[in-house]
Amino acid sequence: MCKKSIKKRDRARELIKKNKEIFKCPICNGFMSIDDSNSLTCNSNHCFDLAKKGYINLLTSSGVSSYSKELFQARHKVIEAGFYDPLIDKLVEIICEHQKYINKEKVNILDAGCGEGSHIYSIYENIKADFNGNFIGVDISKDSINIAASNNTDIIWCVADLARLPFQNKSLDIVLNILSPANYGEFYRILSDDGIVIKVVPNSQYLKELRETVYSDNENATYCNDKVINHFKERLEVIDTKNINYKFDISKELLPYLIKMTPLTWGESTDKLNSILEKDISSITIDLDIIIGKKKN
Ligand SMILES: C[S@@+](CC[C@H](N)C(=O)[O-])C[C@H]1O[C@@H](n2cnc3c(N)ncnc32)[C@H](O)[C@@H]1O
């Protein structure tokens, strides 16, 4: 066993131990505890192991993610190049502003559907100095959490299903849901009374240069997020919305990773994908809506 892995698991165990009251058994809903072993266990003895890589797997059946390891590796590469940096700056601003209204000593932030973890990691790096609370990243894909946990930091990484979040009622204060599916029933349950959900959804111009090439001949060439936003509004009270729209200069080297990182190109032929590369795209539009909601009274 290599030294680095031991450290990661030890760090994860200590973090979870300090915050064990947040967790709920995803099988029987009981409280969880962890000692010096490498398992989080509930009163009914349902047991979940800490991985050497420093995450906990709380799935009750094998998780099915439609996203491949290659997609997460490609996302990681593109995100590291700064693709979403303006979005992260905006999210940090929103979190810092809202944190003041949360009447709790410790503020718990969850990234629900965190993928390869870069967003919550960047937010953590930006605010950790002035922040008292916990950062948690959850995704159903073990491949994605494996990449996320490779940063040896004070973020709790969990493999879990949004439909059965392993957290106690009202234990989270800020739920981020970035370009991922939502489960509002679960978000509502885990959200504290002062808590907020911050959802990031693509707007009509998002990745338009890719969309126009891939779907040049059909109605998918344009996208409308009304349905997603209306669904959010049905479940939560919207307190603010923001739009963020910018262009990212993309290098020839990064373009293949961009093509791989998005479900937009799923199922497309190699010819079609090559035709995107041949188009000499040099800049990509990022157009995202940020919708912030709280529990309805
Ligand atoms: C497009 S990716 C976005 C990932 C990340 N938020 C980002 O922006 O890079 C959607 C993510 O949602 C996750 N996901 C889908 N269904 C899920 C579920 N039921 N529970 C937890 N995560 C889920 C996928 O595994 C994937 O990582």
Supply the residue whose CA is at minimum distance from atom 4 of ligand 1.
115
Predicted pLDDT at 227: 96
Cα 68 from Cα 74, distance rounded (Å) = 10
Model confidence band, residue 207 (pLDDT cutoffs 50, 70, 90): very high
Ligand 1 atom with least separation from CA of 79? 9
> Which of 49-63, 75-89, 209-223, 277-291 shows the lowest mean pLDDT across its residues?
209-223
pLDDT above 50: residue 294: yes
Q: Name the residue of 139, 178, 184, 266 to mutate for ligand 1: max ligand atoms within 8 A of Cβ.
A: 139
pLDDT computed for residue 169 by the predictor: 98
What CATH number is given for 3-294 in this structure? 3.40.50.150
**Per-residue pLDDT tens digits for 28-79:** 999 999 988 899 999 999 999 999 999 999 999 876 778 899 999 999 999 9
Handedness of CA 102, 103, 104, 105 (dihedral sign): positive
pTM: 0.95
Q: What is the mean pLDDT of residues 288-296?
A: 97
For residue 3, report the distance from its CA to the centre of ligand 1, in Å. 30
Task: For residues 24 and 275, give the distance between their C-alpha atoms in angstroms, rounded to a whole number.
Answer: 49
Report residue 224 CA to chain centroid gap: 22
Q: Which residues are near ligand 1 (CB < 6 Å)? A: 65, 67, 75, 113-115, 119, 139-141, 144, 161-163, 178-181
Nearest Cα to Cα of residue 181 among 167, 195, 199, 165: 199
User: What would the pLDDT profile of 179-202 be if each residue is shown by its tens digit?
Assistant: 999 999 999 999 999 999 999 999
Residues 164-171: what's their mean pLDDT?
A: 97
β-strand partners of 111: 137, 176
Q: What is the pLDDT, as a whole number, of residue 1?
A: 45
40: CA distance to ligand 1 center in Å?
A: 24
**CA atoms lying within 13 Å on the CB side of residue 94:** 27
Nearest CA to ligand 1 atom 10: 180
Which helix (H) or strand (E) element contains residue 202? strand 191-202
pLDDT in tens, 103-142: 888 999 999 999 999 999 999 999 999 889 999 999 999 9
Rounded to whole angstroms, the Cα distance separating 160 from 142 reads 9
At 277 the pLDDT is 84
Task: Determine the Cα–Cα distance for residues 89 and 83; give it in Å rounded to an integer.
Answer: 12
Nearest-angstrom CA–CA distance, 154 and 136:
9
The model's confidence at residue 272, banded by pLDDT at 50, 70 and 90, is confident
Q: Where are the chain's structural domains?
A: 3-294
Region 147-160: mean pLDDT is 94
Q: Is the pLDDT of residue 217 over 80?
A: no
Mutation test residue for ligand 1: of 140, 266, 288, the one with most atoms within 8 Å of CB: 140
CA of 183 to the centre of ligand 1 (A): 12
What are residue 208's phi and psi, to 5 degrees? Answer: -60, -30
pLDDT of res. 222: 74
